[in-house]
Amino acid sequence: MEQNKFERYSAVRNTINKTLCVVVNVAGDNITVFTKTGGKMTFKAQYLEPLSEEEAQPIKLMIDQLKKEDESKKITAVRLADPELIRSGCDKFIRHIALRYPKSADAFKVFWAELLAITGDQPGRTWEMKPNTSSNPCPVLKILNPATQKWVYCLNLLAGYGLRIEIKKEFLPPGCEALFPIDHAMFGAGRAVELNYKDFTPEKRRPYLDCVKIIYKNSAQQ
């Protein structure tokens, strides 16, 4: 099936179980859809078929709602472009961790400072708070995509009692795969690792910091 039949907000049918869905992302032959049950799933294009306007009527309200939600996120993202608001959001995020896990918050602040020393502390450019922070707040490092000249998400830090680091596979340097043993993270686009702060010593942090150094060095050379 031709890829150009699928665009964001298109109504489609899962040919496997006949479920009606809405396209929310297109990445080559991988189509991510939002289902009527409220979940996201990614399929190869061959397993989806476009619906006619009449066939799409049962999910028209869902399509309209998704459009409204995305527009709201865009407005929020513009507001968060203010560096001080981004920094304030990160401080609030860390304070929330500290209320439950003071030692974890202290450990995260040390690692976060080490990362920013490598990437540059430029809120809104080299890092920001992920837009969907209302349900799952997450500081994220960004990197310049040479092809588009835009700063894109590179590495997510899901912090709390422990730390989960998720990295997009496209930025993972060769030889660093073992640092992120969990494959198929980020809907298959990334790899991840889950760490315990009490065991995350300077010696164990070093390989991750070195990995980030390689990523940003490679980006600067492109």
Q: Residue 153 is part of which domain span?
A: 83-221
Contact 74, 34 (CB under 8 A): no
Residues 89 and 72 in one domain: no
Residues 145 and 203 in one domain: yes
From 35, 50, 77, give the residue that closes a domain: 77
Residues 101 and 146 in one domain: yes
- CATH number assigned to the domain comprising residue 44: 2.30.30.140
Residues 59 and 145 in one domain: no
Q: Which residues pair with 165 in a beta bridge?
A: 157, 193
Q: Which residues pair with 155 in a beta bridge?
A: 141, 167
Residues 179 and 116 in one domain: yes
From 32, 59, 77, give the residue that closes a domain: 77
Tell me the pairing of strands 30-35 and 127-129: unpaired
Indicate the pTM of the whole model.
0.63
Q: How does pLDDT run along the chain (222 residues), one tens digit per residue?
A: 444 478 889 999 999 888 899 999 888 888 999 887 667 888 888 999 999 999 999 999 889 988 888 876 665 555 556 888 889 889 999 999 999 999 999 999 999 999 999 999 999 889 998 864 444 668 999 998 777 778 889 999 998 899 999 999 999 999 999 999 999 888 888 999 999 998 899 999 999 999 999 998 887 766
Mean pLDDT computed over every residue of the chain: 86
From 77, 98, 125, give the residue that closes a domain: 77
Question: Which residues fall within 8 angstroms of residue 139, CB to CB, at 6 or more apart?
Answer: 90, 93, 112, 127, 128, 129, 130, 156, 157, 159
Integer CA distances (angstroms), 78 to 54, 85, 129, in order? 36, 11, 12
Residues 118 and 138 in one domain: yes
Q: What is the pLDDT of residue 1?
A: 41
Please give the tally of structural domains in the chain.
2
d(CA 42, CA 40): 7
Residues 95 and 123 in one domain: yes
User: With left for phi above 0 and alpha for psi between -120 and 50, is residue 6 left, alpha or beta?
Assistant: beta
Side-chain-side CA neighbours of 197 within 13 Å: the count stands at 20
Residues 22 and 49 in one domain: yes
Residues 206 and 123 in one domain: yes
Residues 67 and 151 in one domain: no
pLDDT tens-place string over residues 56-115: 999 998 899 888 888 766 655 555 568 888 898 899 999 999 999 999 999 999 999 999
Contact 212, 220 (CB under 8 A): no
Residues 107 and 145 in one domain: yes
d(CA 156, CA 141): 7
Residues 73 and 89 in one domain: no
